[in-house]
């Protein structure tokens, strides 16, 4: 994905990668810690361990989507202004 600022793009990509890594670590840690209790509890614990980081991933993806939409709207506005200027 490309955002308007290279620094912002780097930061968002880093945070996305870190969130996926922490989701995997949280899920696997709680899965293996609850595995001796039972498989159902281990799966439920893994979901709970990954949930906060999945929320962070969704938030970052939403931010990226809104930034891309804003850039597209700016392009459309510029094109519409050019069309209005041509008709005058």
Parent domain of 18: 6-87
Q: How many domains does the chain have?
A: 1
CB-based contact 19:27 (threshold 8 Å): no
Neighbours of 25 (CB within 10 A): 13
What 3-state DSSP class applies to 74? helix
Specify if 43 maps to a domain: yes
**Is residue 48 included in any domain, yes or no?**
yes
pLDDT tens, residue by residue, 21-50: 999 999 999 999 999 999 999 999 999 999
Whole-number percent of the chain with pLDDT over 90: 85
The answer to the question of residue 55 being in a domain is yes
Residue 69 has a pLDDT of 94
Q: Does residue 59 form part of some domain?
A: yes
Q: What is the pTM (predicted TM-score) of this model?
A: 0.80
Rounded (10°) CA dihedral 55, 53, 26, 43: 20
Cα gap 29→32, rounded to integer Å: 5
């Amino acid at each position: 994905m490309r955002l308007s600022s290279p620094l912002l793009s780097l930061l968002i990509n880093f945070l996305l990668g870190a969130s996926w890594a922490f989701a995997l670590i949280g899920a696997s840690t709680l899965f293996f810690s609850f595995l001796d209790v039972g498989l159902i509890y281990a799966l439920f614990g893994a979901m709970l361990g990954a949930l906060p980081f999945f929320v962070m991933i969704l938030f970052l993806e939403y931010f990226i989507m809104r930034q891309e939409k804003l850039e597209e709207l700016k392009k459309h506005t510029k094109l519409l202004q050019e069309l209005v200027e041509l008709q005058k």
